[in-house]
Amino acid sequence: MRQAPLHVTFDLQRLLAWRPPPLRFDDFDEAHFHSACASARLNHFIISGAIALLAYLLFLLADHRLIPDVFDLAVQVRVYWYAPVAVLMFLIAFVARGFVLALPWAFMETVLMMTGVGAGASLGWLLTHSSSPYAGLYIAGLVPIVVYGNLVQRFRFRFAFVFSLIIIGISVACAIRRYGQSLPFDLFDFPLVLLVMLMSGYTLIMNYRLELEERRRFEMAVRASALHKKLSASRAQLDLMSRRDPLTGAPNRREFEGYVRERWEALARAGGEMALLLMDVDHFKAFNDRYGHPAGDQCLRHVAAILQKTLPAEQGCVARWGGEEFIVALPGMNARQAQIVAQAMCQAVQSAGLRHEGSATADSVTVSVGVAVARPAEGGINVDGLIARADAALYRAKHEGRNRCVVDEPDMVPA
């Protein structure tokens, strides 16, 4: 006996094993999905529902031709029963939108489904009360109702499936109700039922595909949003790293220069003063020679942390200037105030008790500070010039014995 080719057997097994993708996320994402779609679905319900209600009322023209014997009843059902309920639902959706959106999504979908079921049931009820020879053709009126529910209103698939079964049940019940009565055009009853079944099946397939695509778009949007947040966080982290000294974590030159430039311009407009402190860790080379460079790096980290703790962020900016040098910007401070801050920093570093047996100044790590102050609004000096004056003051602090602060005297600096 000739066997089927291997690839044919494999394809058949794969076909038999195929299952449609599930229309459900995990509980958290499922709740997120319905919450994210709730507002748009409510808007869609209001707009498409209003159009569908208009079409439902226009079917009175068909009622007049197909079931004239119960036309008054059709007017009563469509205009006085169904329409007021639908309008009331629209008003509630408009007036109490927040309340409606807070309702469980399954409850809302059930209410939406029942609007379609009500429309289909009204047609079946009118058909069973009519003795018109054309009443059997009325079953075809269930087709646009199926299309409305599955494709226009786009009930969620599980609700669309139940809705389609109910509409098919109505069409079958109507056909059975007419069966055996030798009514005109009764030969069309079951073909029309078959039409309703086929349209239900076709629209359910499309409904499934539409919801699947909607869920996939949502999933892609969630992933894109998460990726965007990660990229934004990474970009912020990279930006922060680019503005921080990698050794001490203090602001680097780039961050400091931006900070000073912004404050300098503001003070130029307001007429305030800007103070700069330039400081140096005393005998740092001797520290490295005695304890090693890793210990020197740790020393700089401790000094940076002490300086930043001494000066609140809202009062100024402490940055690493390079090597064992740190620089401090004190916008809005005069020479006396800056000197107090400098002395506090000197005292804080020495009080930390970081051992420095190679220092000729003290048994612990100390710093020397140069202070310079300028008034940006007066002109004649820029930031670089102010830094140069602070550097000159720092040189004097070292020359006078270190572990101290010296305030720059502008008249002592050569022009």
Number of domains in the chain: 2
Residue 413 in this model has a pLDDT that exceeds 50: no
**What pLDDT, in 10s, does the model give residues 32-63?**
899 999 999 999 999 999 999 999 999 999 99
> How does pLDDT run across 191-250, given as a tens digit for each residue?
899 999 999 999 999 999 999 999 999 999 999 999 999 999 888 888 878 889 999 999
The mean per-residue pLDDT over the stretch 75-104 comes to: 93
pLDDT for position 238: 86
Q: Are 70 and 191 contained in the same domain?
A: yes
- 65: Cα within 13 Å, side-chain hemisphere: 6
Residue ending a domain, choose from 181, 212, 227: 227
pLDDT at 412: 42
One domain for residues 197 and 287:
no
Q: Is 109 in the same domain as 214?
A: yes
The average pLDDT across 301-329 equals: 94
User: Are the beta carbons of 357 and 283 closer than 8 angstroms?
Assistant: no
Instruction: Check whether residue 217 and residue 316 sit in a common domain.
Output: no
Report how far residue 310's alpha carbon sits from residue 329's, in angstroms, rounded to the nearest whole number: 13
Instruction: Please check the confidence at residue 10 and state whether its pLDDT lies above 90.
Output: no
Q: For residue 374, give every residue at least 6 positions away whose Cβ sits within 8 Å of its Cβ, in sequence order, or none.
A: 273, 274, 381, 385, 386, 389
Please give the share of the chain, as a percent, with pLDDT higher than 70: 93
- Does residue 277 sit in the same domain as residue 394? yes
Q: Are residues 74 and 215 in the same domain?
A: yes
Report if residue 10 sits inside a domain. Answer: no
Q: Give yes or no: 213 in active site.
A: no
The answer to whether 55 touches 82, Cβ cutoff 8 Å, is no
Residue 242 inside a domain? The answer is no
* 2 φ, ψ (degrees, to nearest 5): -75, 130
Query: For position 414, what pLDDT does the model report?
Result: 37
**Domain assignment present for 236:** no
Query: What pLDDT score was predicted for residue 1?
Result: 46
Strand partners, 369: 279, 405
The mean-pLDDT minimum among 177-191, 260-274, 376-390 falls in: 177-191
Evaluate if residue 3 carries a pLDDT over 90.
no
Q: What is the pTM of this model?
A: 0.64
Of these residues, 211, 214, 324, 400, which one is catalytic?
Answer: 324
Q: Are residues 78 and 184 in the same domain?
A: yes
Tokens 């998460």: give the residue.
226
Do 31 and 111 fall into the same domain?
yes
Straight-line distance from the first to the last Cα atom of the chain, in angstroms, rounded to the nearest whole number: 110
Domain boundary residue, one of 190, 211, 227: 227
87/197 same-domain check: yes
Kindly state whether residues 119 and 266 are assigned to the same domain.
no
Residue 243 domain-assigned (yes or no): no
Tell which of 227, 242, 276 closes a domain. Answer: 227
**Considering only CA atoms, which of 365, 353, 396, 362 is closest in space to residue 284?**
365
Please report whether residue 400 resides in a domain: yes
Question: pLDDT tens digit string along 242-274?
Answer: 889 999 999 999 999 999 999 999 999 988 999
Inform me whether the pLDDT recorded for 29 exceeds 90: no
User: What is the SS3 assignment for the chain?
Assistant: CCCCCHHHHHHHHHHHHCCCCCCCCCHHHHHHHHHHHHHHHHHHHHHHHHHHHHHHHHCHHHHHHHCHHHHHHHHHHHHHHHHHHHHHHHHHHHHCHHHHHHCCHHHHHHHHHHHHHHHHHHHHHHHHHCCCCCHHHHHHHHHHHHHHHHHHCCCCHHHHHHHHHHHHHHHHHHHHHHCCCCCCCHHHHHHHHHHHHHHHHHHHHHHHHHHHHHHHHHHHHHHHHHHHHHHHHHHHHHHHHHCECCCCCCECHHHHHHHHHHHHHHHHHHCCCEEEEEEEECCHHHHHHHHCHHHHHHHHHHHHHHHHHHCCCCCCEEEEEECCEEEEEEECCCHHHHHHHHHHHHHHHHHCCCECCCCCCCCECCEEEEEEEECHHHCCCCHHHHHHHHHHHHHHHHHCCCCCEEECCHHHCCC
Name the average pLDDT for the chain. Answer: 89
What per-residue confidence (pLDDT) applies to 20? 77
Distance CA 92, CA 108 (A): 13
Is residue 246 in some structural domain? no
Q: 306 with 207, same domain?
A: no
Residue 6 in domain: no
Region 101-122: mean pLDDT is 93
> Which CATH number characterizes residue 399's domain?
3.30.70.270
* 13 within some domain: no
- Containing domain of residue 373, as a range? 253-412
Q: Are residues 222 and 268 in the same domain?
A: no
pLDDT category at 179 given cuts 50, 70, 90 is: confident
CA–CA separation, 123 and 139 (whole Å): 8
